[in-house]
Amino acid sequence: TPEHGKKQIPLDAGIGIKPISKTGSQRLVRRAMQHALRLPPDKQMVTLVHKGNIMKYTEGAFRDWGYELATSEFRAECVTERESWILSNKEKNPDISLEDNARQIDPGYDNLTAEKKAQICGEVESVLNAIWSTHGNGQWKNKVMVNDRIADSIFQQIQTRPDEYSILATMNLNGDYLSDAAAAIVGGLGMGPGANIGDECAVFEATHGTAPKHAGLDRINPGSVILSGVMMLEFMGWQEAA
């Protein structure tokens, strides 16, 4: 109530519940990591797209669960963006202190509380102890890069810096928005292939709808269906046919 300093929700407001599960989130990120490992080295990147800055307990959880999955099941094959900064700082200056390393990965370090500073220094020490032998001295450059981006910012970045991204792992609604936006950049939905890949089977289809009003008029771009077929053949391992 207002007298207790809480924000009041109008009586005529609609309230929605946003369900999200750790199982579903990690299954998606697992698939993204497996796909990344099949790509050429310069395309081995997985970006977790979320609005965790606002929806901390749902989309923020998706981000955290994604990192947890990647750095546990795929520890030998991946490095997070933040870990790469820590490793790179150590490579450039082998004698760098934990505090100076922390200062470089967090520009606002000097303005933080003592508790927060200790937390970041602990993070740096933990990363170096855990993966320096397997990821240090440039070894991390040959790993799958795992990072995250806020959903609204990625809309700009896929248009202005598309070469910096490869696989976007995100939730259903964000994915709906982003897939149409990305398709528009390369010619529209008529050029965008689609795949629905499950644990035991996969369905490949055009990203647009059935559009029955256009049937038989010879004016719809068949590229989406054709490219979906190519993806299906690749998924089946029929590279020559694809």
pLDDT in tens, 174-197: 999 999 899 898 888 888 898 888
- Compute the distance between CA of residue 21 and CA of residue 100 in angstroms, rounded to an integer: 38
Q: Where are the alpha helices (DSSP H) in the chain?
A: 22-36, 59-73, 81-92, 98-105, 114-135, 151-160, 172-185, 223-236
> Rounded to an integer, what is the distance from CA 168 to the centroid of its chain?
4
- Alpha carbon 216 to chain centroid, angstroms: 39
CB 148 within 8 A of CB 66: yes
**Domain coordinates in residue numbering, the chain:** 186-242
Note whether 61 and 68 are within 8 A (CB).
no
Quote the pLDDT of residue 2: 53
pLDDT for residue 4: 60
Tell me which residue of 184, 193, 138 sits closest to 158, measured CA to CA.
184
Low-confidence ranges of the chain (pLDDT < 50): 1
8: buried, middle or exposed (CB in 10 Å: 19+, 13-18, 0-12)? exposed
Predicted TM-score of the model (pTM): 0.87
- The confidence score (pLDDT) of residue 214 equals 84
CA dihedral of 17, 21, 22, 26, whole degrees rounded to 10 = -120
Please report the pLDDT score of residue 68 as a whole number: 98
Instruction: Tell me how far apart the alpha carbons of residues 237 and 215 are, in angstroms, rounded to a whole number.
Output: 32
| The Cα angle at residue 147 between residues 142 and 151, in degrees rounded to 5 | 150
